Copies of this chain bind each other. A is one copy, B any other.
């Protein structure tokens, strides 16, 4: 490799989306640290992924995983969003923090229920403070599509955040793992991605689609 990749922590890395992202990033040469609430669960998941990919992967508890990485991606259920933020708050200071959270409130997961304050990612930015560059992404990716190494990823990734450079890092990272990714504006614009998941769940049921997604239409540069 001609370039040193930054170390990425996947907080909640034992879930479906976390495992998928960890697998993809490992395959692209990123040093990956799996985080979980319990270190032994993280270690077990890291060991499995290491065996599968032949790469060296560490497993640590969430706080330690956040400390150990340059880019921290959080993939936890909405019910654990605030609690996990508290755990990793110190570890992510000065870093890029990627929030993938969709604020689904069971049992009505096909109904949009955005939180007070607008979005989960805006809550994270508010809680973590200005020294953390929060970027929101990956809410609409079917986790199953990340678990193998085909390039069949049918849903574009909307990348939101107040820092353009941090967004660009995440856009590039998404593109490297085979996803089409777009700068989509400030952290408040994460409302689209966070609400879209419920609409896609609705459509999957209503139309019997196997993993509905979206694609942005329009040609960059055409309105020069």
Contact = CB atoms under 8 A, between A and B. Distances in A.
A78 interface: no
A198 interface: yes
A107 interface: no
Contacts of A114: 114, 118, 191
Interface stretch (A19-27, A61-69, A205-213): A205-213
Contacts of A206: 183, 185
A113 interface: yes
Interface stretch (A39-47, A126-134, A214-222): A214-222
Contacts of A113: 188
Given A111-B189, A114-B118, A196-B192, A202 B184 contact: yes
A212 B222 CA distance: 11
A188 B112 contact: yes
Contacts of A198: 185, 189, 192
Interface residues of A, number: 45
Interface in A68-83: none
Q: What copy number does this chain have within its complex? A: 2
A223 interface: yes
Contacts of A147: none
Given A208-B222, A208-B223, A210-B222, A202 B217 contact: no
Contact of A182 (B191, B203, B213, B219): B203
A1 interface: no
Contacts of A208: 220-224
Given A111-B186, A114-B191, A223 B209 contact: yes
10 contacts: A111-B188, A112-B190, A114-B191, A183-B202, A183-B207, A185-B203, A204-B218, A208-B224, A210-B218, A214-B217
Given A189-B202, A212-B217, 12 more contacts: A112-B189, A112-B192, A184-B203, A192-B192, A192-B195, A204-B223, A207-B221, A208-B221, A208-B222, A213-B216, A213-B218, A214-B217
